[in-house]
């Protein structure tokens, strides 16, 4: 028995040793962490499910839950502590908070629904929604501040109703009423400030960038439609290149094929199936906002724009020029195709060449980039204006608080404040005047945007950035100049090239007085012939005799009208250089030149010193 007992003890000790070795010291902590993670996951899932609901449903749920919490003290005291000394106070607070919360939630729902209801009613009765665009944009922009004013109004009204019904004791209710008065006045001041600010911003964007943004969006939509083009193989048959290839196409048959709805739907379906991801990626890299390329921090490059232009041109046709018929399969109606074709047809001659395609895509890219920079600078300027207006609003709030909380000593409180304002006016009076002038210059006058080419004192400058106090320009040699807005506004004349239409340029020629007038007329005709051969670059010319100097020289002014303006500074100089080369050839062909007149040399025939003689040229 003893031996057996010893064996049992040995087995027990071994089992205890084994259990001690497998003991997990962190078991309880791991279990707590696991439960915490599960609670966090459930809470996250509940929050995600709540956020997936519509705003109206979320507001209603918040109204029910919050109202239930606020009314709970009223119900507890009413049923359990009816004889409590604080019964009136609890009832007053609970009813006031419940009414305020429910009114705030309903206000949130109504303010969000009112613009939609107005739009629906206007559309129902056949009105024009565009006429209400500014009002709707303004209402949506200040909807948050409007909700704040209405919420404080309901809270103040509810406070008055509760006080009249329960008549709670305590002087702090008078102080609370004054606080609500101050909050209501402050919210009105802030709402007024935001209304003015957003109205200025909307007017500013409409005046400055709305047309350019709309035009750029139309061009981007055209690129998006054309991105469904399927690359075509080059045709090796003769007569398939250039404009001659179109001679073998029957226009009636082509129009009939395009006008047939069944064939048109089949053509679009085939095109959409053949869409290539590289085209869409190229367009997104260049201009679109919601692209992976832009989200990565790169806004595209000129190289990407050129590559897109090359691929689009080769995909739309295998000829040397695109016609409007090449655009028909990618648009709903022929009119939309013609409008898109007009974007790329710079000279309006009915075809699109490779240079035109390249320059148009580059222009769309550069315009998009300039618009993004302009919107950023405009937002920064509006932000600074908001800060200035907030400072003024805070100053008005200070007066309001003094009038509400220090009614008996308001004048005594304003005297030292007035002295401070007078002192600051001497210190910051010049800065305030400069700020006001800058605000007028940017938001009212608004003579340029980011990316515009301007002439200031005959100096060509590109607008890089504009702010509330200064504007940064870049010269053509790369130097950047920072100029105060007050100086530009008061002492400079600004010529905006981007906002100009076709621009003229003059060249002065000095020809010999003996040049026949028939040759000058031939010169004019030859220049007109050059313009007719280059309609994409030039749209007009004129040649006039300016003056004659001492019957030695005739000054002829040659005026050339560029078809585009000079916003593309490099393109302007390229056109001018090509014209000057051609002008030199014309002048040499017509033998039009200028030579200095022969100057007579008179030498005395007598009185020369002994042994001296006239020079050989003089003797001749």
Which pLDDT belongs to residue 414? 67
Which pLDDT belongs to residue 12? 52
Which pLDDT belongs to residue 248? 41
pLDDT over threshold 80, residue 227: no
Name the percent of the chain lying above pLDDT 70.
72
Q: Name the burial class of residue 307, with classes exposed (0-12), middle (13-18) and buried (19+) by CB atoms within 10 angstroms of its CB.
A: middle
Question: d(Cα 111, Cα 105) in Å, to the nearest integer?
Answer: 10
Which of 134-138, 235-239, 521-525 has the lowest average pLDDT? 235-239
Q: Which of 238-242, 419-423, 498-502 is most confident?
A: 498-502
Report DSSP letters for 458-509, one per residue: TEEEEEEEE-SSEEEEEETTS-EEEEEHHHHHHH--EEESTT--S-EEEEEE
The position carrying tokens 């019957």 is: 551
Alpha helix ranges (H) inside 236-301: 251-259, 261-273, 277-286, 292-295
Backbone φ, ψ for residue 599 (5° rounding)? -100, 120
pLDDT over threshold 60, residue 463: yes
Alpha helix ranges (H) inside 167-209: 172-208
Which pLDDT belongs to residue 348? 67
Q: With contact defined as beta carbons under 8 Å apart, do 200 and 155 qualify?
A: no
pLDDT per residue over 234-288, tens digit each?
444 344 333 333 434 444 444 444 444 455 555 555 444 443 333 334 444 444 4
Q: The tokens of 608 are what?
A: 């020369």
Question: d(Cα 184, Cα 100) in Å, to the nearest integer?
Answer: 14
Higher pLDDT, 60 or 598: 60
Which pLDDT belongs to residue 133? 67
Which pLDDT belongs to residue 265? 52
Which pLDDT belongs to residue 285? 40
Which pLDDT belongs to residue 577? 93
Which CATH fold would you assign to the domain 406-496? SH3 type barrels. (2.30.30)
Which pLDDT belongs to residue 106? 93
Question: d(Cα 44, Cα 31) in Å, to the nearest integer?
Answer: 20
Which pLDDT belongs to residue 247? 39
pTM over 0.75: no
Which pLDDT belongs to residue 140? 81
Which of 129-133, 319-323, 330-334 has the lowest average pLDDT? 129-133
CA-based nearest residue to 162, from 95, 88, 225, 219: 95
Higher pLDDT, 531 or 218: 531
Average pLDDT over residues 11-36: 60
Tell me the pLDDT band of 589, cut-offs 50, 70 and 90: very high
Average pLDDT, the chain: 76
- Checking 540-543 for CB contacts under 8 A at 24+ apart, the result is 540/502
pLDDT over threshold 70, residue 535: yes
Question: d(Cα 312, Cα 273) in Å, to the nearest integer?
Answer: 17
Which pLDDT belongs to residue 281? 42
Which of 19-33, 51-65, 198-212 has the lowest average pLDDT? 19-33
Which of 45-49, 96-100, 495-499 has the lowest average pLDDT? 45-49
Which pLDDT belongs to residue 225? 74
Architecture of domain 504-589: 2-Layer Sandwich (3.30)
Higher pLDDT, 367 or 561: 561
The position carrying tokens 């890219």 is: 365
Tell me the pLDDT band of 442, cut-offs 50, 70 and 90: confident
Task: Decide: helix, strand or coil at residue 207.
Answer: helix
pLDDT over threshold 90, residue 55: no
Higher pLDDT, 593 or 199: 593
Question: d(Cα 385, Cα 443) in Å, to the nearest integer?
Answer: 10
Which pLDDT belongs to residue 314? 81
Beta carbons within 8 Å of 482's beta carbon, 6+ residues apart:
470, 471, 472, 473
Report DSSP letters for 51-107, one per residue: HTS-HHHHHHHHHHHHHHHHHHHHHHHHHH-TT-TTHHHHHHHHHHHHHHHHHHHHH
- Cβ neighbour number for residue 207 with a 10 Å cutoff: 12
Name the percent of the chain lying above pLDDT 90.
21
Q: With contact defined as beta carbons under 8 Å apart, do 279 and 224 qualify?
A: no
pLDDT per residue over 147-199, tens digit each?
999 999 999 999 999 989 888 887 888 889 999 999 999 999 999 988 888 88
Average pLDDT over residues 96-102: 93
Domain ranges of the chain: 51-208, 210-372, 406-496, 504-589
Which pLDDT belongs to residue 398? 84
Q: With contact defined as beta carbons under 8 Å apart, do 311 and 318 qualify?
A: no
Which pLDDT belongs to residue 384? 77
Average pLDDT over residues 27-37: 71
Tell me the pLDDT band of 514, cut-offs 50, 70 and 90: confident
Strand partners, 506: 559
Q: The tokens of 392 are what?
A: 């003024």
Which pLDDT belongs to residue 210? 66
Q: Which of 121-130, 191-200, 212-221, 598-607 is most confident?
A: 191-200
Higher pLDDT, 377 or 246: 377
Average pLDDT over residues 342-358: 78
């Amino acid at each position: 028995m003893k031996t057996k007992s010893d064996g049992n003890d040995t087995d027990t000790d071994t089992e205890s040793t084994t259990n001690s070795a497998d003991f997990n010291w962190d078991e309880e902590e791991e279990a707590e962490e696991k439960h915490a993670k599960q609670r966090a996951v459930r809470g996250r899932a509940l929050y995600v499910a709540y956020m997936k609901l519509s705003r109206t449903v979320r507001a209603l749920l918040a109204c029910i839950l919050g109202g239930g919490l606020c009314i709970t003290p009223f119900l507890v005291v009413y049923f359990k502590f009816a004889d409590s000394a604080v019964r009136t106070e609890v009832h007053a607070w609970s009813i006031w908070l419940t009414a305020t919360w429910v009114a705030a939630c309903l206000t949130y729902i109504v303010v969000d629904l009112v613009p939609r209801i107005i739009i629906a009613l206007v559309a129902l009765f056949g009105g024009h929604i565009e006429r209400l665009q500014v009002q709707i944009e303004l209402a949506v922009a200040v909807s948050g501040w409007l909700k704040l004013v209405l919420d404080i109004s309901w809270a103040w009204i509810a406070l008055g109703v509760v006080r009249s019904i329960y008549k709670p004791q305590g002087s702090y209710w008078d102080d609370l009423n004054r606080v609500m008065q101050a909050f209501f006045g402050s919210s009105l001041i802030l709402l007024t400030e935001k209304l003015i600010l957003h109205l200025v911003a909307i007017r500013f964007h409409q005046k400055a960038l709305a047309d350019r943004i709309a035009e750029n969006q139309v061009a981007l939509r055209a690129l998006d439609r054309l991105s469904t083009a399927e690359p075509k193989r080059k045709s090796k048959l003769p007569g398939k290149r250039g404009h001659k290839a179109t001679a073998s196409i029957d226009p009636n048959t082509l129009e009939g094929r395009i006008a047939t709805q069944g064939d048109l739907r089949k053509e679009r379906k085939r095109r959409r199936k053949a869409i290539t991801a590289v085209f869409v990626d190229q367009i997104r890299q260049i201009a679109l906002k919601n692209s992976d390329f832009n989200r990565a921090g790169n806004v595209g490059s000129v190289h990407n724009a050129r590559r897109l232009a090359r691929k689009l041109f080769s995909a739309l046709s295998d000829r040397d020029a695109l016609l409007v018929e090449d655009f028909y399969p990618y648009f709903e109606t022929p009119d939309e195709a013609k409008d898109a074709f007009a974007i790329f047809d710079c000279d309006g001659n009915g075809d699109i060449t490779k240079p035109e395609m390249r320059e148009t895509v580059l222009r769309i890219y550069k315009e998009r980039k300039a618009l993004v920079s302009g919107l950023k600078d405009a937002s920064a300027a509006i932000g600074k204006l908001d800060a200035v207006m907030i400072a003024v609003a805070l100053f008005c709030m200070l007066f309001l608080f003094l009038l509400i909380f220090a009614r008996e000593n308001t004048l005594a409180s304003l005297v030292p404040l007035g002295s401070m304002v007078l002192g600051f006016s001497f210190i910051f009076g010049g800065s305030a005047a400069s700020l006001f002038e800058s605000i007028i210059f940017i938001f009212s006058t608004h003579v340029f945007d980011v990316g515009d080419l301007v002439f200031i004192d005959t100096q060509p400058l590109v607008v890089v950035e504009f702010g509330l106090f200064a504007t940064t320009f870049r010269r053509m040699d790369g130097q950047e100049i920072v100029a105060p807005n007050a100086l530009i506004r008061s002492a400079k004349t600004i010529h905006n090239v981007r906002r100009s239409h076709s621009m003229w340029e003059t060249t002065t020629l000095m020809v010999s007085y003996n040049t026949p007038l028939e040759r000058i007329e031939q010169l004019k005709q030859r220049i007109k012939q050059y313009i007719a051969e280059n309609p994409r670059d030039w749209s007009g010319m004129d040649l006039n005799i300016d003056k004659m100097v001492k019957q030695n020289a005739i000054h002829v002014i040659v005026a050339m009208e560029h078809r585009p303006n000079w916003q593309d500074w490099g393109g302007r100089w390229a056109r001018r250089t090509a014209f000057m080369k051609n002008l030199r050839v014309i002048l040499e062909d017509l033998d039009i030149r200028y030579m200095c007149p022969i100057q007579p040399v008179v030498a005395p025939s007598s009185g020369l010193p002994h042994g001296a003689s006239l020079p050989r040229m003089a003797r001749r």
